[in-house]
């Protein structure tokens, strides 16, 4: 299985190479050259299997010869063994024909654990074969950093540095990043905001001497291996509700378009998905794009669903690549226009997108109201991101079953929950001592030279 860039001008890579490389050298994103289709009988055969076995069968065709089958099964078992629920991604019912897919039973209580836990295992195994050691650097507004630290802590071939904006993550998020004690993880509190952190990471990748000497790698949400790991729960949940005989729809709270793009891949693989509903908070660039055909940036507004406060949805490039019939030059041109503020999606491409995706957005007031009414009617407490999904999903019920993705545990965002229903959501008991563990964090100026010096000093080169 080969991987090609959405901008058509980077080397063709294997799965293992694309996983380590992350961003393609032409600035594009790696996608599989062809998407393997699962036969209806093979989808039907997933019914009743463990999450781990479904994961193996869904992902295996994408891997080429990167791992032997037995080895890949072992990596999957390790990745999901630490989850706090035997089903890994359980479904609960909210209303007639409306189901919630709980993706927050991993070690850091957000869906990013599904991809990060597996990519940690896969990277370690791939590096062990070559004896290589790498340095992973990432910026986070909260959930990605804690998921990465939890996945990579203690691995012997990886040093991990996470830059987070000092004072701008929730206390639970901060403690999840600062309390792991393993020497290979380094939480760096940067005196700046999330955009500063992201810019400093970009500076590191653009400083080629630094990049080469520390052997820099990335695990941000454009990494293809992360997308692939997220395809699995679309299959497991749809099959639980009767696929492939029964068609379903999904609603996905969206920021960087990674999670919903995984649903798009599941649909391409043959899973009968009628519609994929894009749910955004007040940062509604994707909703506006699907409705108007104009993709135009418009400044980030801080919201109570902060993991979706994103101005440019990186993974949208992958779906544009398909909608433009895989014309890398056309995509490169659109991205150039985006740097100047925005672009218009051509009519044929917009029609393709509208045949698959519908969209909606949710205001701050509506987010709180949704947490409130779902609690009143069902007793379930939603995190604010999941509430955005539920609100938009409720506008599209009727017809086939709707599955809304619950992307984080409510206890990760206790202030928003308290504001909505007057009670704070409790952390699961396995995390109960989070507030007693000692913190370890390095404060760094918002300065590339200072940050790069910290990285080099820590890894001793």
Ligand X SMILES: *Cc1c(COP(=O)(O)O)cnc(C)c1O
Q: How far is the CB of 260 from ligand X (least distance, A)?
A: 6
Q: Which residue reads 């955004």 in tokens?
A: 280
Q: Which of 110, 277, 319, 455 binds ligand X (CB under 6 A)?
A: 110
CA distance linking residue 444 with residue 451, whole number of Å: 7
Q: Which of 198, 359, 407, 452 binds ligand X (CB under 6 A)?
A: 407
Q: How far is the CB of 288 from ligand X (least distance, A)?
A: 16
Q: How far is the CB of 227 from ligand X (least distance, A)?
A: 9
Q: What are the angstrom distances between the C-alpha of 12 and each of 30, 119, 292?
A: 9, 20, 34
CA distance linking residue 84 with residue 150, whole number of Å: 14
Q: In the 8-state DSSP scheme, what is residue 110?
A: B
Q: How far is the CB of 37 from ligand X (least distance, A)?
A: 24
Give 169 or 345: the residue with its C-beta nearer to ligand X: 169
Q: Which residues, numbered 307-336, are part of the site for ligand X (CB under 6 A)?
A: 307-308
Pick from 258, 316, 328, 321: nearest CA to 287: 316
Pick from 65, 120, 114: nearest CA to 89: 114
Site string for ligand X, 261-300 (x = CB under 6 A): ----------------------------------------
Q: What are the angstrom distances between the C-alpha of 238 and each of 103, 127, 266, 270?
A: 14, 34, 10, 12
Q: Output the six-digit token pair for 15.
A: 């799965």
For residues 354 and 222, is the Cβ–Cβ distance under 8 A? no
Residue 6 binds to ligand X (criterion: CB under 6 A): no
Q: Which residues, numbered 117-146, are part of the site for ligand X (CB under 6 A)?
A: 143
Choosing from 112, 275, 391, 412, which is the catalytic residue? 112
Residue 112 binds to ligand X (criterion: CB under 6 A): yes
Q: How far is the CB of 110 from ligand X (least distance, A)?
A: 4
* DSSP E strand boundaries for 307-406: 342-344, 357-361, 402-406
Q: How far is the CB of 53 from ligand X (least distance, A)?
A: 25
Q: Which residue reads 């519908």 in tokens?
A: 358
Give 135 or 251: the residue with its C-beta nearer to ligand X: 251
Q: Which of 166, 168, 267, 385 binds ligand X (CB under 6 A)?
A: 385
Q: Output the six-digit token pair for 32.
A: 């599989």
* Other CB atoms within 10 Å distance of the CB of residue 42: 14
- How do 402-406 and 98-102 pair as beta strands? parallel
Site string for ligand X, 244-263 (x = CB under 6 A): ---------xxxxxxx----
Give 257 or 357: the residue with its C-beta nearer to ligand X: 257
* DSSP E strand boundaries for 182-288: 185-190, 216-217, 248-253, 273-280
* Other CB atoms within 10 Å distance of the CB of residue 377: 10
CA distance linking residue 225 with residue 123, whole number of Å: 10
Residue 381 binds to ligand X (criterion: CB under 6 A): no
Give 43 or 319: the residue with its C-beta nearer to ligand X: 319
Give 254 or 367: the residue with its C-beta nearer to ligand X: 254
Give 6 or 307: the residue with its C-beta nearer to ligand X: 307
Query: Percentage helix, strand, coil, to 5, in the chain?
Result: 45, 15, 35
Q: How far is the CB of 253 from ligand X (least distance, A)?
A: 5
| Angle, in degrees to the nearest 10, between helices 69-80 and 112-130 | 140
Site string for ligand X, 208-247 (x = CB under 6 A): -------------x--------------------------
Q: How far is the CB of 234 from ligand X (least distance, A)?
A: 13
Q: What are the angstrom distances between the C-alpha of 385 and each of 81, 208, 382?
A: 25, 37, 8
Give 201 or 408: the residue with its C-beta nearer to ligand X: 408
Q: Which residues, numbered 141-180, are part of the site for ligand X (CB under 6 A)?
A: 143
CA distance linking residue 158 with residue 217, whole number of Å: 10
For residues 80 and 88, is the Cβ–Cβ distance under 8 A? yes
Q: How far is the CB of 408 from ligand X (least distance, A)?
A: 3
Half-sphere exposure of 124 (CA within 13 A, CB side): 23
Using CA atoms in the order 193, 199, 204, 207, what is the torsion angle rounded to 10 degrees? -150
Give 159 or 168: the residue with its C-beta nearer to ligand X: 168
Quick check: is 112 catalytic? yes
Applying CB under 6 A, the residues found at the interface with ligand X are 110, 112, 143, 221, 253-259, 307-308, 385, 407-408
Mind telling me the catalytic residues? 112
């Amino acid at each position: 299985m080969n991987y090609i860039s959405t901008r058509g001008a980077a080397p063709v890579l294997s799965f293992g190479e694309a996983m380590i490389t992350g961003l393609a050298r032409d600035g594009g994103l790696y996608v599989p050259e062809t998407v393997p289709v699962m036969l209806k009988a093979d989808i039907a055969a997933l019914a009743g299997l463990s999450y781990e076995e479904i994961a193996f069968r869904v992902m295996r065709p994408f891997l080429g010869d990167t791992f032997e089958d037995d080895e890949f099964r072992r990596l999957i078992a390790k990745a999901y063994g630490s989850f706090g629920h035997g089903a890994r991604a359980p479904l609960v019912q909210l209303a007639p024909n409306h189901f919630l897919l709980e993706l927050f039973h991993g070690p850091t209580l957000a869906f990013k654990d599904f991809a990060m836990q597996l990519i940690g295992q896969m990277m370690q195994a791939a590096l062990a074969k070559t004896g290589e050691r790498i340095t992973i650097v990432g910026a986070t507004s909260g959930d990605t950093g804690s998921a990465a630290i939890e996945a990579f802590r203690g691995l012997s071939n990886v040093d991990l540095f996470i830059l987070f904006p000092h004072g701008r993550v929730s206390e639970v998020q901060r403690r999840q990043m600062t309390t792991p004690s393993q020497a290979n993880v380094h939480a760096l509190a940067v005196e700046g905001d999330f955009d500063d952190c992201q810019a400093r990471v970009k500076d590191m990748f653009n400083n080629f001497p630094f990049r080469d000497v520390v052997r820099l790698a990335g695990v941000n949400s454009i990494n293809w291996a992360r997308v692939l790991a997220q395809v699995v729960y679309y299959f497991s949940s749809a099959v639980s509700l009767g696929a492939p005989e029964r068609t379903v729809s999904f609603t996905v709270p969206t920021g960087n378009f990674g999670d919903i793009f995984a649903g798009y891949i599941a649909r391409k693989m043959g899973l009968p998905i009628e519609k994929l509903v894009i749910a955004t908070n007040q940062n509604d660039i994707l909703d506006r794009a699907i409705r108007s055909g104009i993709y135009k940036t418009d400044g980030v507004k801080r919201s109570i669903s902060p993991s979706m406060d994103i101005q440019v949805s990186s993974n949208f490039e992958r779906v544009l690549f398909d909608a433009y019939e895989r014309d890398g030059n056309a995509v490169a041109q659109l991205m150039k226009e985006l740097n100047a503020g925005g672009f218009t999606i051509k009519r044929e491409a917009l029609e393709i997108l509208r045949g698959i995706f519908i969209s909606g957005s949710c205001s701050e007031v509506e987010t709180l109201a949704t947490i409130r009414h779902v609690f009143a009617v069902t007793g379930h407490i939603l995190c604010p991101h999941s509430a955005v999904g539920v609100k938009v999903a409720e506008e599209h019920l009727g017809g086939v079953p709707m599955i809304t993705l619950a992307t984080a545990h409510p206890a990760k965002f206790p202030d928003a929950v308290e504001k909505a229903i007057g009670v704070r959501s409790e952390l699961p008991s396995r995390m109960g001592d989070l507030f007693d563990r000692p913190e370890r964090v390095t404060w760094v100026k918002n300065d590339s030279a200072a940050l790069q010096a910290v990285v080099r000093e820590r890894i001793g080169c």
